[in-house]
Amino acid sequence: MKRYNKLISLLFFFALTGCMPSGLSKLILEKGMVARMSANTLAELDDGLHLALCGAGGPMPAPKASGPCVLVIAGERMFVVDAGTDGVRNIARMGYPINQLEAVFLTHFHSDHIDGLGEMGTLRWASGANASPLRV
């Protein structure tokens, strides 16, 4: 544990001073990416019904907000209600496997509820080689 505390202290120092060696930052980024991409939050959940907010923004541009999106997890099945901007990226950031999305439900057709639909279908297909289309 002391070894990790020293490492964290060293990384914190580099972050504060802005003098992180480029090789070290690249190594940290690569290791973190692999860990995040292989995460599967779905496997960590108890059986049951779960909801995850993957976006709650509105139609006006907001750089720090994502469009409306709710991930519904029923056992091992995953569904999305509304497909707002960055919703699918937030699902991936939370560690849920995009390739296991079964369907998207749309509450209505306002642009902020559907503008991430294309990316959602593409990432679902690309991340799991799904041969079937994403049901909407």
Q: Residue 19: CB partners within 8 Å, gap ≥ 6?
A: none
Same domain, 72 and 103: yes
Same domain, 47 and 32: no
Residue position matching structure tokens 């692999």? 34
Across 7-34, b (16+ Cβ under 10 Å) vs e yields: eeeeeeeeeeeeeeeeeeeeeeeeeeee
Same domain, 60 and 115: yes
State which residues form the domain around 78. Answer: 41-128
Instruction: Choose, from 46, 86, 112, 115, the residue flagged as catalytic.
Output: 112
- The residue among 99, 105, 90, 92 whose CA lies nearest residue 121 is 99
Tell me, what's the pLDDT at 128? 85
Same domain, 68 and 10: no
- The residue among 44, 113, 100, 111 whose CA lies nearest residue 72 is 100
Global pTM? 0.70
Q: Tell me the per-residue pLDDT of 25-34, one tens digit each, with 9 for 90 and over.
A: 667 666 665 5
Same domain, 45 and 30: no
DSSP 51: E
Same domain, 83 and 124: yes
Tell me, what's the pLDDT at 9? 65
Same domain, 33 and 45: no
Asked, for residue 133, whether it belongs to a domain, the answer is no
Q: Does 39 score more than 90 pLDDT? A: no
Q: For residues 88 and 54, is the Cβ–Cβ distance under 8 A? A: yes
Same domain, 7 and 65: no
> Active-site residue 112, yes or no?
yes
